[in-house]
Amino acid sequence: LTPSLPEQLVTYNKMWAEAQEALNGLLQREIEDKSLKPQKDHITVFQTLATFYIKYVQIFCNLETVYDQIVHPQKRLVIRQVLEGVMGRILELKNEMVELENSEFHYFDDILQDLKLSPEHIEIPIPRYFIKEKVKVLREREKILAQILINSGLQDIKPVSIPGALVIQISERARQGRLRATFMKQIYLEEKRERQARLQGVKGPNLDAAALRIQKVWRGFTQWKKTVKMREEEMIFLGMNPPPQFQRISASVARVHNVETKRREVQGRHETEYKKALVSIKTHLREIEGPDIKESLQDQIRQWFIECRHITGKFPDYPNEEEGGSTAIFSQKTPDQEEEEGWKMAPSNFLPIMEEGNNQYKDIWQNRDERWNFLQEYDPELIKEEKRKEVEEEIRVQVDELMRQELKNLKLAVDREKDKKRKKGKKGGKKVSAAKDGKTIDSLYKELVEEGLLIKPKTAKLSDYVGEYSYLGTTLRQVDIEPMPSLTDVRQLIALYGILPLGSQAVHEKAPLVKALLLAGPTGVGKKMLVHALCTETGANLFNLSASNIAGKYPGKSGLQMMLHMVFKVAKQLQPSVIWIGDAEKTFYKKVPKSEKEMEPKRLKKNLPKILKSLKAEDRVLVVGTTQRPFDADLQPFCKVYKKILLIPRPDYASRFVLWKHIILQNGGAVTKSLSISCLAKVSDGFTQGHIVYAVQTVLSERRLRQMTNKPLTAAEFLSSLARQDPVYKEEEETYKVWYAKTPLGKARARALLEGEEVGKGKGKGKDKGGKKGGKKGKKKKK
């Protein structure tokens, strides 16, 4: 039976307690590691980082589930704080592993085996609140975008549906025509049999022989049906085939959906009540406790006046607003600690956030009696504690103004000092003057849509980018062979570098900043799909600055600057945003082909690095380039812009096996025992996801789908459409590998591997010949 909503809430409270306990253990371990001596063993360092990474990912999965299910508004705030801290810490650990290994891809086969975990346990989940908390905004934006496209004629209006009576007439006439044709065929066949019988003089059929034949055929048929049924039951019993009710929606699943809908309603209602209570309780506190707080602050500051005059002989200067006012009077500064030499865990921006959330859980929620709060509504006492600090801060600002004037009067009366006017400097240094184009964000949004620079992203889930985990990554690296990344690794990096920072403002501001991302790989490996998945999973706007799309638009230098100003202004205002540059190599061509000179593909070459520099941590804007010919670009400026480069390979056998099954089911097909998926996966070696999708969609037409019940799919049907396409040959894949080895990260990786080999050989020779000389000769020879 499916548990009810109260039972599920108890379950998720327990899950939260377990996640907090695991997090508390990790935080204690991180604090202990800071006090240890710096580590020098490369393997030990990576094992430490990888273990922390895996455990934080598990906590992340549990906290994300808990945050989505719990309805208590104040608990959700604490969980959200810890959840964002864990997300940021995962990104920091990933960045440290990249710097340590000089590779974007990492393999944890041995660690997962030691921890008795499967690869699914380190799958990065996409927080559901990224979309759920702004559903209304996204729907409104979709309506506006669709209306602009229709008004500008860029999107066809849906055709008017045919009247119902006309549809019925057409269907009825077709039905009568089919019946008439069948009837005439029967008459024709009957007449033909009679004619042949008269010509051959054949006697009428023997009734006994006919009955015997019918019995024979029927008994054979019934026995065949029984055998097939027994065979199917045996395969289901052995676990080789799914049970018949596997595809049906069970009553328990339907009930789960109903409970989830009810939970969403309760979450929304409790959130609304909580926000109203924040305002009402704060107003009440200001009226009741405000005078007492004001009097207490004034007494403390007057005491400070007296103590300073007693010690120094004169009244002190009152701190200004920039220095914090009276809060600066009671603050204490701690001396900075010196760092030890060697490798140690880098300082984290998210550990304090997690520690604060963990302390809130231990101090407030761990042993809190909530038997009175069965409905999990807000707790007014906690709101009072929170708002009392805000009221005190607001009153402190007012008290500062009064006490400055009082201090001024005291100085005039006692010390007879003249008021010294301080020169007020310009706040914040130089401000970048925004271009006064006199246009609102709405008008700029409309203009960009009409020009085709702001486009509607296709609906694509990151989970649809299916693939299998690489189980031999660690083994291959141990024998100095660099493995090709799997599709699962690519999906993980898109989630880490794109979706998590774009989805959360708190994570983006403090995590290692990724401004530009390059997806490189052959045609059909899913580069564009990943761009659309980025937008779908985060609700981001999609801007298209591909060389082919901006050709002829906003000509000239001033026009280009205005276009980029508009694009990035709207992108920052309506963040999160993704700036997509298709065929990114064209912007950095070594030599522009004659056929593309009119298009001016290198328009963005000078301006793009400048704009990327202007992006700050608070701007959730990501530039994503896609390319299938990265070797045509000038490498140095290309890599200067795209510092994160993901090489997307063609799928291996395991990924193709999963892909064929997923794509066939996605397009309405059925996987039966007559369809050999392993055969298709073997035959399609070298073909990409795009090739497989094309082959499946070509075969699974509407007519073929209607025949599915009587004529199951076979592997041979897909071979002809697959054979009409050109695969990605191994030589082409090697070309991408060679190009990637020339990038800064590829060079660093190769250098690290080479140094490892040199040290090993140098040590061996030194040992054989007895001295340092042999080691040096070994190094020299290797170089």
Q: What are the DSSP calls for 721-766, one per residue?
A: HHHTS----HHHHHHHHHHHHTSHHHHHHHHHHHHHHHHHHHHHHH
Q: How far apart are CA 541 and CA 306, in angstroms?
A: 59
Output the pLDDT for position 783.
37
Strand partners, 624: 517, 580
Range 124-154 burial, b when 16+ CB lie within 10 A, else e: bbbbebbeeeeeeeeeebeeebeebbeeeee
Encoded amino acid at 3, one letter: P
Output the pLDDT for position 436.
44
List, edge to edge, every strand of the sheet that includes 454-455: 454-455, 541-544, 577-582, 621-627, 516-520, 644-647
By three-state DSSP, how is residue 165 classified?
A: helix
CA atoms in the 13 A half-sphere facing the CB of 387: 22
- Which residue ranges in the chain fall short of pLDDT 50? 1-2, 157, 159-160, 332-342, 417-436, 758-783
Before 457, cis peptide (omega within 30)?
no
Output the pLDDT for position 624.
93
Q: Are 522 and 628 in contact (CB under 8 A)?
A: yes
The continuous run of DSSP H or E covering 646 comes out as strand 644-647
The burial class, CB within 10 Å (0-12 / 13-18 / 19+), for 634 is middle
By three-state DSSP, how is residue 555 classified?
A: coil
The continuous run of DSSP H or E covering 544 comes out as strand 541-544
Output the pLDDT for position 161.
54
Report strand pairing: 541-544 vs 454-455.
antiparallel
Of the candidates 599, 495, 602, the residue with the CA atom closest to the CA atom of residue 549? 599
Q: How far apart are CA 357 and CA 80, in angstroms?
A: 9
Output the pLDDT for position 470.
82
Residue that is written with structure tokens 């054989």 in the block: 768
Compute the radius of gyration of the chain from its Cα atoms.
Answer: 35
**Residue 89, Cβ neighbours under 10 Å: how many?**
27
3-state secondary structure 12-70: HHHHHHHHHHHHHHHHHHHHHHHHCCCECCHHHHHHHHHHHHHHHHHHHHHHHHHHHHC
Q: Are 644 and 514 in contact (CB under 8 A)?
A: yes
3-state secondary structure 473-510: HHHHHHCCCCCCCCHHHHHHHHHHHHHHHHHCHHHHHH
Q: How far apart are CA 752 and CA 741, in angstroms?
A: 12
Q: What is the largest CA-CA distance in the chain?
A: 144
Output the pLDDT for position 779.
38
Q: How far apart are CA 395 and CA 399, in angstroms?
A: 6
DSSP assignment of 592-624: --GGGGGG-TTTTTTHHHHHHHH--TT--EEEE
Report strand pairing: 454-455 vs 644-647.
unpaired
**Residue 366, Cβ neighbours under 10 Å: how many?**
12
Output the pLDDT for position 360.
82
DSSP code of residue 708: T
**Residue 513, φ and ψ in degrees, nearest 5:** -80, 125
Averaged confidence pLDDT in the chain: 81
Output the pLDDT for position 225.
92
Report strand pairing: 644-647 vs 577-582.
unpaired
Output the pLDDT for position 221.
93
Q: What's the pLDDT tens digit per position in 580-595?
A: 998 898 888 888 888 8
Q: Are 775 and 765 in contact (CB under 8 A)?
A: yes
**Residue 316, φ and ψ in degrees, nearest 5:** -80, 170
Residue that is written with structure tokens 């699962």 in the block: 488
**Residue 466, φ and ψ in degrees, nearest 5:** -85, 155
Q: How far apart are CA 524 and CA 650, in angstroms?
A: 9
DSSP assignment of 280-334: HHHHHHHHHTHHHHHHHHHHHHHHHHHHHHHHHSSPPPPP-TTTTGGGGGS----
Q: How far apart are CA 393 and CA 158, in angstroms?
A: 57
Structure tokens at 729: 């040959």
Structure tokens at 2: 């499916």
Q: How far apart are CA 684 and CA 720, in angstroms?
A: 12
Residue that is written with structure tokens 């006046």 in the block: 305
Structure tokens at 412: 């005039």
Query: How far is CA 365 from each of CA 67, 151, 267, 361, 588, rounded to the nearest angstrom?
Result: 15, 54, 19, 5, 56
Q: How far apart are CA 98 and CA 216, in angstroms?
A: 73
Query: How far is CA 159 from each of CA 22, 149, 397, rounded to the nearest angstrom?
Result: 57, 16, 63
Structure tokens at 708: 């599915």
Structure tokens at 749: 């990786």
Q: How far apart are CA 593 and CA 138, in angstroms?
A: 41
Q: Are 664 and 696 in contact (CB under 8 A)?
A: yes
